[in-house]
Structure 1
Amino acid sequence: MNIGVGSDAKKFVLQSVGRGVRIEPQKNKRKRILNLYNAKEIKEELFNKVRKNILPLESLFVFGTNAENLKEIIKALKEEKQEKDLGQEFIINKDAEKRLLLIPIYKESDKIFAEEKEPQKYGISKDDFYLASAMFNYLGKKVSLVKYECDVKVIEKAEESFQDSEKDKYFDNTESRSIGEPDLLVDRILGYFSVREREFDKFKKLENEIIHFKRIKFRDGDKFNAILDAIKKVRNYDQKGLKEKEIDAEFEKTKNKEKYKKDLRQLELEFQPEVKYEKLRIKYLQNHYYIPIIISENEKVDYLNHIIDVDSEVRFMEQLEDYLQKDDHVFKQFDWWMFSKLDQTLDEVHIPYYNPKENNMAKFKPDFIFWMQKGNDYIIIFVDPKGTEHTDGYRKIDGYSKVFETKERKECKSYPFNGFNIKTRLLLMPAHGGVAGVSDNYRKYWFDNFSDFARKIQ
């Protein structure tokens, strides 16, 4: 596309570089072709044909005809990339440092899915299932073993799974999308039976698994000092009471009313529970793992990262704050409670689950984690307010249930740890609307308000 030759074209070039170009090597598959190949969504034959040309095909080229304009564009790009580190301005809550905050740790299972009695089901449409079954039966076990280079146990389990009496144990036929390529389908099913599950190992004390607040960076120099000042005012809010006592003590000595009033006014300016700046709310939350917390009213703030800026998370925080204003909120029944936002890219708090799109064990990272203790009872709650009521969300719930619940009755397992009885919960909040569309089998994992939340954590 021809953006133009004038100096005003600079902003259009920057927009093009920032947004890039949608990559769609195959219809409705918007991923780089290497990722599609690794996920076995395209054939090896196709990948090998184009692999030497992938880099230029998936690159965005910007050509210029005016040297001076290019200098301006390069200068602007360098300015765009300049970031200032805000991470050191955030601190771990002093109350959190006093508490035992536990997270689960997992290990690789000794068994592959082919050896599991009840592995998570593989999602496949009915048409694709019958295509794969016909292809496998046509090839036979010996040819399949050589062609797909897999374990004998996998071949035997695949043969068993294609039988009408056994298929419902291993396959979920609610998948609506069909691939229609029998060779690829058999390959993926054998890959599914070769997956090695991850299982619960132990609980450990939280150390460096939540770090996103240390990586918060700022990309707008003009606003940096204002944000920095706001953070400092909120960060030290818990010291306000101590400073006020010092001012009172000084007044008792000097009886200087003017200075006393001036000091109190300054105190209100320097120690604030919340500061609003443009569309940002910088808040002191007594029970949050780190202080302060930044919430944006606009989704995806372009000059600040790793904050709460997703609409579902923002709404969740607003509802939580409103709920905490109630005199009888559920958290008061505990000896103490804390919670923290979790970041999808940087934090290492997760629940393992089988992801059929990638055909491997993936990490489900909820948006929040809560800890609460009453006597010897200790509860860890994973909360995901942007949960989807559809198949993807159900698979994540299945992964949680397989690790943390009993098989038959789906009740929370209890884990002993240093004198505590530890239990977990998983609660999802629909991104839009209520829980009416949720399947009955999964209804207990969903809430649409905090009264419902309170009932489900007790």
Structure 2
Amino acid sequence: MRTLQDILTDLSFFDLPPAWQDYDLATFSPTMRLWDYQQEALQFALRALWKYYGDVRDLKSGESRATNEERKARFWQWYHDNGLAEDLSISLQRQKPDVRALLKRYYPSEGDRIPYWPFINRMSFWMATGSGKSLVLIKLIELLWRLMRRNEIPAYPILVLTARDDLMKQLQDHVAEFNASRADFRIVLESLKAYPDREHSLLPIIGGREMTVFFYRADNLSDEQKERIIDYRNYENGGHWYVLLDEAHKGDREDSKRQHIYSILTRHGFLFNFSATFTDLRDVLTTVFNFNLAEFIRTGYGKHITILQQENRAFRDTEDYTGAEKQRVVLKALLMLAYARKAQESLPSELSAYHRPLMLTLAHSVNTDDADLKLFFRELERIGQGNIDQAVWQQAHEELRCELMEGQDWLFENDRFQFDQRLFESLTQAELLRLVYNATAPGKIDVLLHPTNSQEMAFKLKSASQPFALIKIGNISEWLKEELDGYEIIESYQDDKFFNRLNANDSVINILMGSRAFYEGWDSNRPNVITYINIGAGGDAKKFVLQSIGRGVRIEPLPGYRRRLRVLYNAKDIDENTFHAVRGPSAILETLCIFGTNRRALQTVMQELDHERNQIAEHEIALAVNHEAVDGRPLLIPVYREVDHTVLEGRKPRKFEITKDELTLLCQYVAHLDDPRVLICHYSVLPSDVTILTRCLANPPEYFNTHSGRRYGRLDILLPRLLAYFRVIPQEVDRLKPVEDEINHFRHIKVFLEDVSELNMKISRVIEEPRRIAELQARFDAGQISFAEALHDYSAIRSDETLSHNGQMIHIKQIARHYYLPLLVSESERIDWILHTIRHPSEVAFLRDLEEYLKKSDNAFADLDWWAFSKIDENLDGVYIPYYDPQSNRIRRFLPDFVFWLQKGDRYAIVFVDPKGMRQADYQYKVDGFRDLFRDGEREPDVFIYKDLVVCVHLLLYTEDANRAPIEYQEHWFDHLDKIGQIINCCDDPPNQT
């Protein structure tokens, strides 16, 4: 099953027309920027909108509704061309009479079903709680406005529908943040009830520098009119809306009237669906960006998650824990918190690394007589008073130590928790008091209140000067009357809002207790332990689990860095000294540990996380490095750095592409303005930009390429793009280094099958092929088996297995010199049940030709001392060649399909190989970029010295007939595989060494 994101992956965002990609996707407000994954979500949204409005049926001014219906039909066909096989049609017989009448009023039926193609103008954003999807939603509004202003999409009003009042308040707060200090564009929010009046007023909804965006509670839309409930027909606007749903998609699609109303409002517009949880197949298939909880964690933006299971027998019966068991479970949670606190204390203070660990204790019920939160509080009080059964303490300490020693699995990842046994074993009861209770001795609990705050109360031990815990619930009055009768109440405490200050550096709160009061709309890096108590097993409870975990997985190892430490280090965002200074404590500080005080709570957590992990039957498998081929050998790759000048100032400036008539128009426009201050004011440019513009326009042949045919259509697109060109900074080679994690796609093979056991078995058989052949040879040489027996056993050993699913087959291959084993090769380019394989026809053909070539005894590789090669995945790997791309007007990364490493004596060659068709004109930009980096002025290879090796870097493009290549680029094209092995001869020492 392929989602919209999967289909769009092959379409590079930077290959879109200029009017669809020249946007600032990073800036949200003066103090906030979108993270890389949030920008990527917007890029995928723009790709999908371009496909719909610019490709399958280009938008024309004043087009008819019939044209839009044709666009939907073509978009639907495009889905089918890319493997959509599921039946998404809607059964009319299953609908209630009023829903059936509603659907038939607006959509054509085919028998007793309505086809799904009229609903296909939609996209879903499946983004984890805590990933900032609300910011993506608001930034998308800006992009829609800009696209409307450029006439790339229809100029329709925008409506945001949210599920709850707190989400509406959150939307208003984020929009206020977005509008802060914005002069070019702002969003004006109005209730949907105001739309009929605005529609007939003189005030434009879509203005020159602002846009009115309507919003409302999604569940208040209906087909009747009441005080808060509104009749959609009074706001329908002929179906010409862009509707953005924020967690408002819930309900069975087959019979939920509201869900169909949302589609009716957008039947001639577009529907955008944002949620942390999707279960409906239609939402899943139209997912344009998947960054759910599993992806959020896998990509390093969130903490690892592990579930402490306590006792396996707890899941085989239904009785609850006894009193002693409850204290043991609470002690385990507190010990884990103390362990995290002690790890945080060991960090170098000057780095301001990580956070003060916090434990969340969450329950659905807090004020009932038998509320488990009260039972937890009583255990917390007993432990704080020193009323600990020593046998229970020893048992809790030892059980938790043993469980951690075994290596807790991290959910969604093929890895385990790294346990610091020495640090954990040093925890004593005195340490627990200090690290959890902020106390040096046991003591009774005092209650801290502020008269103006009826939702929060803090707790401290009488033996301590600072509070250690906080309860935040809807109303604390019942707790004060019933649970805390007899406690000393300290009113008028100076801090009236502990909760608002939880993220402050000086916050002393270590435990936060409560229910729904803070599971949404709250941001914190601090949680390292979550204890669920009596959360039930219903739909609301399951949603509560995912939402609260989403609040607990945020991470910030160092100020301003929102990914895990190792990811930052591998991405070169932090230096080696910083990495090693904090890596020890990072394991626990980057892990969210989940406990449950009753069996039902743990069952609900585990079931819901398993459900999230196995959505659309997704698995991730990891292949193995081919140590026999590469151990002890340097697999060198180039590393780059930005230069101190722009592309204009290079030894051979890259020219800006433009048509001759638009260049003439540009010259006339700048000359007409005459005063450079007009340019500076209107386009917000620097005086230095105007100076460069004047210089370039004075000498067009040196700076402009008018043969490319690149047309921008409008000066307000062309001029900002040209000014951006002036600021493009190229890169240069910094050094060579051995491969570490730069080739990693083979560790993240995604498989969308219910059962991957057969695939894993066949992979294992292929990996074992060399060992089994060696053993067979040894047995034959030792006379243990006859020739006939050896031949029989050899025939059973496979170096090539196959696996088919839905008529799509992959080959599982053993190729001795490849970096990892085995290779997964697809016979179908559009294979939809496995990702990160070799699947493009040009790659498959090259690999097949290479296998055949290597069977020849006189192949050129046989003359080498050593060689190896690897597939490069353009989506996950970091081995690339930077080049200036005039189409996107920026430095882009060219990831060739393969990299070869060759060595003969002290000569060493890095050879990038890309099977390409010559019809792909952009290869010239990539070759030019390669030459700038790895060729001198005479086009001789630059030479690099790595230890005792003389290294050259080459780029070869594989094709059927290299003689057809243009003379200027012919040296890079080849059609005989001899050329790869023989290229080592080009690595003789020229006089200019780098």
> TM range, normalised to the smaller chain?
0.7 to 0.9
State the alpha-carbon separation in 1 of the partners of residues 734 and 793 from structure 2: 52
SS in 1 for 2:253: coil
In structure 2, relative to structure 1, the CA distance for the partners of 1:378 and 1:75 (3 Å cut) is closer
- For 1:318 and 1:118, how far apart are their aligned partners in 2? 39
Query: What's the CA shift for 1:392?
Result: 1.4
* 2:765 and 2:798 in contact (8 A); partners too: yes
User: Match for 1:219 among 752, 764, 784?
Assistant: 752
Whether the aligned pair in 1 keeps the contact of 2:636 and 2:737 (CA below 8 Å) is yes
Give the deviation of 1:333 after TM superposition: 2.0
What is the match of residue 287 of structure 1? 817
Q: Find 2:769's aligned residue among 237, 251, 255.
A: 237
| Among candidates 220, 228, 248, match of residue 760 of structure 2 | 228
CA separation in 2, counterparts of 1:51 and 1:312?
Answer: 49
Corresponding position of 2:244: 56
User: Would you say the 8 A contact 1:351–1:400 is kept in 2?
Assistant: yes
CA-CA distance at 1:353 after TM superposition: 0.8
Q: Which amino acid aligns with 1:149?
A: S
- Is residue 809 of structure 2 the alignment partner of residue 277 of structure 1? no
For 1:127, the equivalent position in structure 2 comes to 661
Instruction: Please say if 1:108 is aligned against 2:642.
Output: yes
- Superposed CA deviations along residues 306-332 of structure 1, whole A, max 9, x for unmatched, are 010111110111111111122221212
| 8 Å contact kept, 1:121–1:171 | yes
Over 3 Å counting, the alpha-carbon distance change for 1:242 and 1:318 in structure 2 is closer
Match of 2:255 among 51, 66, 70: 66
Instruction: Name the structure, 1 or 2, with higher relative contact order (CA <8 Å, separation 6+).
Output: 1
**Conserved 8 A contact 1:124-1:172:** yes
> Which residue of 2 is the match for residue 310 of structure 1?
840
Q: Matches of 2:638 and 2:146 in 1, distance apart?
A: 32
Which residue of the partner structure matches residue 346 of structure 2?
Answer: none
1:376 corresponds to which letter in structure 2?
D
Shift of 1:37: 6.8
Letter in 2 for 1:226: E
Alignment correspondent of 2:894: 364
Distance in 1 of aligned mates of 2:248 and 2:700: 46
- Supply the AA of the counterpart residue of 2:763: I
Q: Which residue of 2 aligns with 1:154?
A: 689
Percent of aligned pairs with the same residue? 27
CA distance, structure 2, for counterparts of residue 110 and residue 386 of structure 1:
33
Letter aligned with residue 880 of structure 2: H
Distance 1:280 1:42, change over 3 A: same
Q: SS of 2:642's equivalent?
A: strand
Structure 2: gaps spanning 5 or more residues: 1-71, 73-87, 95-109, 124-139, 153-183, 186-205, 214-240, 261-278, 286-610, 986-994
- C-alpha contact 2:90 2:116 (8 A) present in aligned 1: no
Q: 1:267 to 1:437 in 2, by over 3 A?
A: closer
Question: Is the CA contact 1:288–1:339 (under 8 Å) kept in the aligned structure 2?
Answer: yes
Displacement, 1:172?
A: 1.6
* Distance in structure 1 (CA, Å) of the matches to 2:928 and 2:711: 23
Equivalent residue of 1:106, what SS?
A: strand
Cα offsets for 1:262-312 (capped at 9, x unmatched): 78755653x422123332211111110001001111113211110101111
Partners of 1:114 and 1:154 within 8 A in 2: no
- Distance (Å, rounded) in 2 between the aligned partners of 1:161 and 1:108: 23
Structure 1 portions without partners, runs of 5+: 24-30
Letter in 1 for 2:970: R
Q: TM-score, normalised by structure 1?
A: 0.81
The secondary structure found in structure 2 opposite 1:131 is helix
Q: Which amino acid aligns with 2:927?
A: I
Distance in 1 of aligned mates of 2:899 and 2:667: 42
1:96 to 619, 624, 630: 630
Conservation of the 8 A alpha-carbon contact between 1:377 and 1:421 = yes
How many residue pairs were aligned?
432
- Residues 245, 116 of structure 1: alpha-carbon distance in 2 compared, 3 angstrom cutoff: closer
The 8 Å contact of residues 91 and 292 in structure 1, kept in 2 or not, is answered as no
Distance 1:185 1:121 in 2: 15
The equivalent residue for 1:28 is: none
- The 8 Å contact of residues 253 and 280 in structure 2, kept in 1 or not, is answered as no
* Structure 2 equivalent of residue 206 of structure 1: 739
Secondary structure at 1:162 match in 2: helix
Deviations 1:170-202, CA, capped at 9 Å, x for gaps: 222222242231232122111101111111111
Q: Relative to structure 1, is the Cα distance of residues 401 and 220 closer, same or farther in structure 2, using a 3 angstrom cutoff?
A: same
Match of 1:195 in 2: 728
SS at match of 2:644: strand
- Secondary structure in structure 1 of the residue aligned to 2:91: coil
User: What is the rounded CA distance, in whole Å, between the counterparts of 1:240 and 1:402 in structure 2?
Assistant: 48
Report SS of the residue matched to 1:307.
coil
Query: Aligned residue for 2:967?
Result: 440
Distance 1:48 1:249 in 2: 83
RMSD: 4.1
In the TM superposition, residue 207 of structure 1 has moved relative to its aligned partner by 0.4
CA contact (8 A) 2:742 2:878 kept: yes
Paired with 1:184 and 1:263, the residues of 2 have a C-alpha distance of 71
**One-letter code aligned to 1:196:** I
Structure 2 distance, partners of 1:385, 1:36, is 41
For residue 976 of structure 2, what is the aligned residue in structure 1?
449
Q: Structure 1 residues 417 and 284 mapped into 2: Cα distance closer, same or farther (>3 Å)?
A: same
How far apart are the structure 2 equivalents of 1:14 and 1:93?
53
Name the aligned partner's letter for residue 4 of structure 1: I
**AA in 1 matched with 2:821:** I
- What secondary structure is seen at the aligned counterpart in 2 of 1:56? strand
Q: Residues 20 and 116 from structure 1, CA distance in 2 versus in 1: closer, same or farther, beyond 3 angstroms?
A: farther
- The 3 A distance-change label for structure 1 pair 452 and 235 is same
1:401-437 CA-to-partner distances (Å, cap 9, x unmatched) read 111111x32221111111211111111134xx63455
Match of 2:928 among 379, 395, 398: 398
Change (3 A) 1:328 1:72: same
Please report how far the alpha carbon of residue 219 of structure 1 lies from its aligned counterpart in structure 2 after TM superposition: 1.0
Offset of residue 370 of structure 1: 0.6
Residues 338 and 371, structure 1, Cα contact 8 Å, conserved in 2: yes
The 3 A distance-change label for structure 1 pair 312 and 173 is same
Q: CA deviation at 1:82?
A: 1.9
SS at match of 1:188: helix
Instruction: Give the conservation status (yes or no) of the 8 Å contact 2:742–2:877.
Output: yes
In the aligned structure 1, how far is the partner of 2:714 from the partner of 2:864?
A: 55
Q: Which residue of 680, 683, 690 maps to 1:145? A: 680
**Hey, what's the Cα distance between the residues in 2 that align with 1:384 and 1:160?**
38
TM-score normalized with structure 2 length = 0.39
The 2-side partners of 1:366 and 1:36 are apart by 37
Equivalent pair of 2:901/2:911 in contact (CA under 8 Å)? yes
Counterpart CA distance in 1 for 2:92 and 2:859 is 61
> How far apart, in 1, do the equivalents of 2:801 and 2:639 lie?
37
1:5 paired to 2:91: yes
The separation in 2 between residues aligned to 1:51 and 1:286, in whole angstroms, is 62
Match of 1:336 in 2: 866
Letter in 1 for 2:637: I
Q: 1:451 to 1:245 in 2, by over 3 A?
A: closer
Task: Give SS of 1:426's match.
Answer: strand
Alpha-carbon shift at residue 144 of structure 1 (Å): 2.4
